[in-house]
Structures are given as C-alpha cells and as structure tokens.
Amino acid sequence: MVKKSSSQLSHLDAEGRIRMVDVGAKAVTARTAEASGFVMMSPATVRAIREHRTPKGDPLEAARLAGIMAAKRTPELIPLCHSLALSHADVQIELRDDGARITATASTSAQTGVEMEALTAVSVAALTLYDMCKAIDREMTITKIRLERKSGGRSGEWRRSGNKKKG
C-alpha cells in the first residue's frame, strides 16, 4: 500500500520541520481526483429525508452546494495545500436505506493535484448532512472517506486497489 520509500515524508524537511512541497518545477497538466464517503444514518432518518424532498429543495442539495463551496476553499483549511483554480468540482449524493453515499470530483490544470479538494468536498458535504439531520439523529457516523482515483501529473492514473469490487 505504501507507494514510495517511507524514508521520506515529503512535507518534512531535513530537520523534520513541516514544509510545503515546492511544485514550481512540476508540469502544468490536467489533473482530476475522485473521492467518496458515506454517512451512516438510521432508517428513520433516511425516511425523514425522503419524505421532505420537495420541489423547493432538500438537505441533499444543501450538502452538495456546501461541498462544492468547500472544495474551492481547501487551501485555507489544509495548511500545506497549494492554492489553485478548479476548472470543475462536483458532489453527488445517493440516498440509500442505511445512509447517504457521497462522491466528489475535482479537476484543474495546475502543477499539483486535487485529491485534497475532492476529499474536502466529501467531508464538508457529509458534515452538512449531519448538521441538517442532527435534530432527529445524533448518532449518524461519517465513514469511509477516501480517494477513489486520480489522474494527471507525474504519477499518472491511479485507482484505489480493489476499486472494482468496492467502488
């Protein structure tokens, strides 16, 4: 599972100080990332969401919008993450009987990847779902937030191992 030598964490310099990676010498390429997560809910909570999905809006749309907005602000939240201009960010939420599955994608043309943007979008969408349903269910659990795939940059296409079955 470890993709490079573990002798070097790229955010630490020779003396172990926290540092931002210098991407100045990296190529500007089209980069995308996809991440996912799941908010476990009681069946009653899922039903409550379903019953209130009206033409005027619903918690899923608020969560999607919050996730997209958070993707844009990722570098403010994650200390060593580079600022970049996303060409696209999207959050999809699928309501299942035991909760909500969230998938986010982010794309850019830049010197660094957008994994953190996709993961942040999933996380904030999940937190928003929690916020909007917590009055009826405080026990919801946000789980399985993970990178599904990425493309672009030096390492090219990457997919989570076992993605065929888990995806």
Residues 99 to 138 in contact with a second copy, rule: CB under 8 A: 107, 109-111, 115-116, 119-120, 123-124, 126-128, 130-138
Cα 109 to its chain centre, rounded Å, is: 18
Strand, coil or helix: 73: coil
Enter the DSSP assignment of 155.
T
Nearer to a second copy, 56 or 164 (CB): 56
CB of 146 to a second copy, least distance (A): 4
> How far is CA 117 from each of CA 86, 141, 150, rounded to the nearest angstrom?
9, 21, 12
CB of 10 to a second copy, least distance (A): 4
CB 68 within 8 A of CB 90: yes
Tell me the HSE value of 149 on the side-chain side, using a 13 A CA sphere: 12
Give residues with Cβ within 8 angstroms of 165, minimum separation 6.
none
Q: Segment 14-43, which members bind a second copy (CB under 8 A)? A: 15-24, 30, 37, 42
Rounded to 10°, the helix 43-51/115-133 angle is 90
CB of 75 to a second copy, least distance (A): 5
CB of 164 to a second copy, least distance (A): 15
Q: Segment 81-100, which members bind a second copy (CB under 8 A)? A: 81-90, 92
Report if residue 142 touches a second copy, rule: CB under 8 A: yes
* Residues shown for the chain: 167
* 27, 94, 96, 146: residue in contact with a second copy (rule CB under 8 A): 146
Among 13, 98, 131, 137, the one annotated catalytic: 131
Let me know if 90 is a catalytic residue.
no
Which active-site residues does the annotation give?
A: 131
